Amino acid sequence: MRRNLMVIYVMWLRDMKRFVRAPSRIIGSLVIPFLLLISLGLGFGKTAIPGLSGSTGYLGFLVPGMAAMTILFTGMFSGLSVLWDRQYGFLKEIMVAPVSRVSIVIGRIVSGATTGVIQTYLLIFISILIGFRLPPILPLFVSLIFMILMAFIFTSIGLIFASRMKDEQGFGLIMNFIVFPLLFLSGAFVPLNNFPLWVKIISYANPMTYGVEGLRHSLLGFSMISLPVCLTVMGSIAVLLIIIGAYFFETSEVV
């Protein structure tokens, strides 16, 4: 057990060092969501959008959505680090070590989640600059749980694909193919109730929806789906995906 924790820690430590040493990556990942907050959030800020409660403007509504989007992107694309490791040979150094494959996967998921959460909090704090009102500490803490769950889920998905793929371009293509439907059909941009029924059905099958709704509830105090439902759905999917991710990693070819 201690051995496995050490592996998780050292995998995490390495990624954190790499993360801190590449500030351009941190800034780069925040540019798009921040631009969206400015153009959509401020642009539609004064428009009355059906389905929004009175006190929250569109900017407030959009911040949890963009926070979720940041986690979605960082999580999914953390699979790239596996591809880089494969390309630069470091994956062999990891795989030849006498450690359990599950702890390697968990180490990667934890570090992917950490970067995702840090970037998301950065985004939330930056959005204060353009008028977002920060919730009190306790809701902010609840939002952390959702961020972690979301990060676990999307990092796992990214790792599962990365374990079976060899080239970066292919990985990028497939990720985009998955990321955008997850994003646009999640209620990150517009209230779910505004969708026609058939879109709503798809949205309810989308794990991202429960993450966005959970974040929204914790940050704004309201959501279409209740908090316990969001928590249960996200929690079960996260556990399931970690198990699947460990299996895919265990059986993946290193060379």
Partner 1 sequence: MDAIKVRGLSKKFKDVLAVDHISFDVEKGELFGLLGPNGAGKTTTINMLSTLIRPGSGEAYVMGFDILKQRDHVRKSIGVVFQEPALDGRLTGRENLEFHAMMYSMNKVERMSRIKEVLELVELSDKAGKKVETYSGGMKRRLEMARGLMHRPEILFLDEPTIGLDSQTRRHIWDYIKKLNSDTGITMMLTTHYMEEADFLCSRTLIIDYGKIVALDTPSNLKNILGGDVVDIEITDSCDTFIPELKKIEWIKTIKEHDCRLSLTMNSGEKRIPQLVSLAQRHKINIASINLHKPSLDDVFIHFTGKTIRKQES
Using CB under 8 A, list all residues that contact partner 1: 3, 6-7, 9-10, 13-14, 17-18, 21-22, 88-99, 253-255
The distance of closest approach from Cβ of residue 163 to partner 1 in the complex, given in angstroms and rounded to an integer, is 15
CB of 241 to partner 1, least distance (A): 24
The least CB distance from residue 96 to partner 1, in Å, is 5
Least CB distance from residue 7 to partner 1, whole Å?
Answer: 6
Closest CB to partner 1 among 90 and 195?
Answer: 90
Q: Output DSSP code: residue 51.
A: T
2 versus 46: smaller Cβ distance to partner 1: 2
- CB–CB of 204/74 below 8 Å? no
Measured between alpha carbons, how far is residue 99 from residues 104, 107, 233, 252 in Å?
8, 12, 31, 15
> Shortest distance, CB of residue 100 to partner 1, whole angstroms?
8
**8 or 237, CB closer to partner 1?**
8
How many residues are listed for the chain in this entry? 255
Quick one: 31 or 253, whose CB is closer to partner 1?
253
Between CA 212 and CA 220, with CA 216 as vertex, the angle to 5 degrees is 170
- In this structure, which long-range contacts are made by residues 57-63, counting pairs with CB atoms below 8 Å and at least 24 apart in sequence? 59/127, 59/130, 59/131, 59/132, 60/132, 60/133, 60/220, 61/191, 61/216, 61/220, 62/36, 62/37, 62/188, 62/189, 63/37, 63/124, 63/127, 63/132, 63/219
**In the bound complex, what is the minimum distance in angstroms from residue 3's beta carbon to partner 1?**
5
Radius of gyration, CA atoms only, the chain? 18
Q: Kindly tell me which of 20 and 240 has the beta carbon lying closer to partner 1.
A: 20
Residue 24 or 47: the one with the smaller Cβ distance to partner 1 is 24
Count of CB atoms situated within 10 Å of the CB of 40: 17
Query: Please, what is the angle between helix 168-184 and helix 58-77, to 10°?
Result: 150
Tell the smallest beta-carbon distance from residue 255 to partner 1 (Å). 6
Between 39 and 87, name the residue whose CB sits nearer to partner 1.
87
